[in-house]
Amino acid sequence: MAKVLTDRAYIEMNYRPKAGLPCVQDRFYEAILKNTCETALAASLFPRASVVITLQEMHDNGQLISCAINAACLACLDSGIDMRFMFAAMTCFLTNNGDLHLRTPEVKEDIDAIFVFVFDSVKKNVIVSHTEGTFKTENYKLALEKCREGSETVFKFMRKEITKE
Amino acid sequence: MAESFRVLHPIKYYRDYIASNVRPDGRGLHKFRPVLVNIGSIQTADGSALAKVGDTTVICGIKAELCTPKPECAREGFLIPNVELPPLCSPKFRPGPPSDEAQVASQLLANIVKNSKCINLQELCLFPEKLAWCLFADIICISYDGSLMDACIIALMAALKSVQLPVVDYDPAADSRLVNEEEKKSLNIKSVPICSTFSIFDEKVVLYDPTDEEESLCSSTFNIVVREDQLSSVHKPGGAPISDEKLFECIKVSKERASTICKLIETAIHENNT
């Protein structure tokens, strides 16, 4: 009862790692996921309600956080809760020769920086920006553009999957 | 009258102020609060600093302990930042285990330290696989009034710069260590990352350096960390979407602010030494 909000729905996010109990790093991801879903779901339509989203990591082959965000979006769409917009996450890697890749590079030592962006489906504005490593503003700008282009495919995929049946 | 209006309709109250390009505390929308740094506030710590950003006050104490390095990084020491948000700093925190906000702040701080490479952990190792320094950086918030990360980073970096570690003689054959308390040396801090916090009000107006009240009313808060002329983190954990031009404007402003704060820390360290 303590979690009841009188003006909107309470959104509870549970992120579970592959094994063991959630650690501080998982709480950090959980906060990002929770904030994203709170913006995207039309929570003010359901006062005094609660939405529980549980994410379980199955296998991590790089880009885990993007994958978790996209899974959360698809699950929200599938549940039929009203949403203000869809969201899609993209990860971009900056390698030490200055190139940007959307695929996880094979050699970890080559990675200079990692960028994770989440875009909304209406205006394609940035909802989440999470970065690892040090980089120049120009690289950030290029990575943002590349991820925005890439997010189109994710939105297309989501639309296709959700209208299939 | 104005006070009860503020309590009953906080958003309307802020909207009226922001419509005339001013905030209730008298600042313009694009103004930062004054920053204050004090070095060596705790005598019993190996390094310490107090940082104030407006009314947000945090104190950082660094305690160094000798330990064995982890087998996977045998040549590295440790730097463990921990942010504490006790109930005394704000009524929104309860006693008990660390709140989610404190855990997220600790993790963000650890990420920033790692990404900006401000300290080379290999220099904290005294003998591979056997002996290394473990620096516990405990950051306690004394007064919480928004932009917590800004204050935490300033306090942590100033404290790291003031750390004096004793020289240790280690004999690997006999596994004996001799700590020479007379002879002390400072850490080699390569760069100073500086964080700036921004909030988005009503999904369009960007407020610089928000207070606690502003943060709770705003739909999104994000941090930009600058190291020299490079970026070491752009952290926006969800919330209202932001357009590119506003984001890059904030990056530009953070860079300008970072150089002033770097100078401030340098001056504080210099004055503490003389």
C-alpha B156/C-alpha A106 separation (Å) is 35
Q: Which residue of A has its CA nearest to B247?
A: A126
DSSP 8-state class, residue B33:
P
* CATH match for A10-164 among 2.40.50.140, 3.30.1180.10, 3.40.50.300, 3.30.230.70: 3.30.230.70
Which of chain A's residues have a Cβ under 8 Å away from the Cβ of B106?
A: 24
Residue bearing tokens 């509870």: A12
Asked if residue A1 has pLDDT above 60, the reply is: no
DSSP 8-state class, residue A84:
S
Answer whether B236 sits within 8 Å of A123, measured CB to CB: no
Answer whether B219 sits within 8 Å of A118, measured CB to CB: no
CATH topology of domain B25-273: Ribosomal Protein S5; domain 2 (3.30.230)
Tell me, yes or no, if A28 comes closer than 8 A to chain B by beta carbon.
yes
Residue A80, sorted as left (phi over 0), alpha (psi -120 to 50) or beta, turns out to be left
Question: Tens digit of pLDDT for each residue in B205-250?
Answer: 999 999 999 999 998 999 999 988 899 999 999 889 999 999 999 9
Give me the phi and psi of B11, to 5 degrees please: -70, -45
Closest CA to B226 of A18, A134, A37, A2: A134
Model pLDDT, residue A2 = 64
Q: Could you tell me if A59 and A85 are in contact, meaning their C-beta atoms sit under 8 angstroms apart?
A: no
Answer whether A127 sits within 8 Å of B104, measured CB to CB: no
Within a 13 Å sphere around the CA of B148, how many CA atoms are in the beta-carbon half?
23
Average the pLDDT over each of B45-54, B104-113, B176-185 and give the range with the smallest value. B176-185
C-alpha B82/C-alpha A140 separation (Å) is 29
Which of chain A's residues have a Cβ under 8 Å away from the Cβ of B103?
A: 24, 27-28
Which of chain A's residues have a Cβ under 8 Å away from the Cβ of B111?
A: 28, 132
Q: Which of A134, A135, A145, A147 to mutate to test the interface with B (most CBs of B within 10 A)?
A: A134
Question: Tens digit of pLDDT for each residue in A9-59?
Answer: 999 999 999 988 988 889 999 999 999 999 999 988 999 999 999 999 999
In this prediction, residues B32-60 reach a mean pLDDT of 94
How far apart are the CA of A5 and the nearest CA of chain B, in angstroms? Answer: 15
Answer whether A131 sits within 8 Å of B234, measured CB to CB: yes
C-alpha A111/C-alpha A43 separation (Å) is 38
Asked if residue B52 has pLDDT above 60, the reply is: yes
Give me the phi and psi of A127, to 5 degrees please: -95, -45
Q: Which of A32, A86, A125 to mutate to test the interface with B (most CBs of B within 10 A)?
A: A125
Tell me, yes or no, if A34 comes closer than 8 A to chain B by beta carbon.
yes
Tell me, yes or no, if A25 comes closer than 8 A to chain B by beta carbon.
yes
Answer whether A130 sits within 8 Å of B237, measured CB to CB: yes
In this prediction, residues A144-148 reach a mean pLDDT of 94
C-alpha B114/C-alpha A113 separation (Å) is 12
Answer whether B241 sits within 8 Å of A132, measured CB to CB: no
DSSP 8-state class, residue B242:
B
CB pairs under 8 A between A and B: 97
Which of chain B's residues have a Cβ under 8 Å away from the Cβ of A22?
A: none
Question: Tens digit of pLDDT for each residue in B127-151?
Answer: 888 899 999 999 999 999 999 999 9
So what's the ipTM on this one? 0.89
Answer whether B238 sits within 8 Å of A126, measured CB to CB: no
How far apart are the CA of A130 and the nearest CA of chain B, in angstroms? Answer: 5
C-alpha B87/C-alpha A118 separation (Å) is 34
Q: Could you tell me if B203 and B219 are in contact, meaning their C-beta atoms sit under 8 angstroms apart?
A: yes
Question: Tens digit of pLDDT for each residue in A74-117?
Answer: 999 999 999 999 999 999 999 988 899 998 888 888 899 999 99
Which of chain B's residues have a Cβ under 8 Å away from the Cβ of A30?
A: 100
Nearest-CB residue to A140 (from B106, B107, B234) = B234
Closest CA to B117 of B228, B250, B252: B228
Percent of chain B with pLDDT over 90: 73
In this prediction, residues B166-186 reach a mean pLDDT of 87
Q: Could you tell me if A102 and A146 are in contact, meaning their C-beta atoms sit under 8 angstroms apart?
A: yes
Confidence of residue B177 (pLDDT cuts 50, 70, 90): confident
Q: Could you tell me if B109 and B153 are in contact, meaning their C-beta atoms sit under 8 angstroms apart?
A: yes
Answer whether A35 sits within 8 Å of B237, measured CB to CB: yes
Confidence of residue A165 (pLDDT cuts 50, 70, 90): low
Q: Could you tell me if A34 and A43 are in contact, meaning their C-beta atoms sit under 8 angstroms apart?
A: no
Answer whether B103 sits within 8 Å of A137, measured CB to CB: no
Question: Tens digit of pLDDT for each residue in B72-131?
Answer: 888 999 999 999 999 999 999 999 999 989 999 999 999 999 988 889 999 999 988 889
C-alpha B154/C-alpha B127 separation (Å) is 31
**Structural domain boundaries in chain A:** 10-164
Answer whether A132 sits within 8 Å of B103, measured CB to CB: no
Return the axis-axis angle of helices A64-79 and A137-162, rounded to nearest 10°: 40
Which of chain B's residues have a Cβ under 8 Å away from the Cβ of A36?
A: 238
Q: What sign results for the dihedral spanned by CA atoms B187, B189, B192, B195?
A: negative
Asked if residue B190 has pLDDT above 90, the reply is: no
Model pLDDT, residue A89 = 95
Q: Could you tell me if B150 and B199 are in contact, meaning their C-beta atoms sit under 8 angstroms apart?
A: no
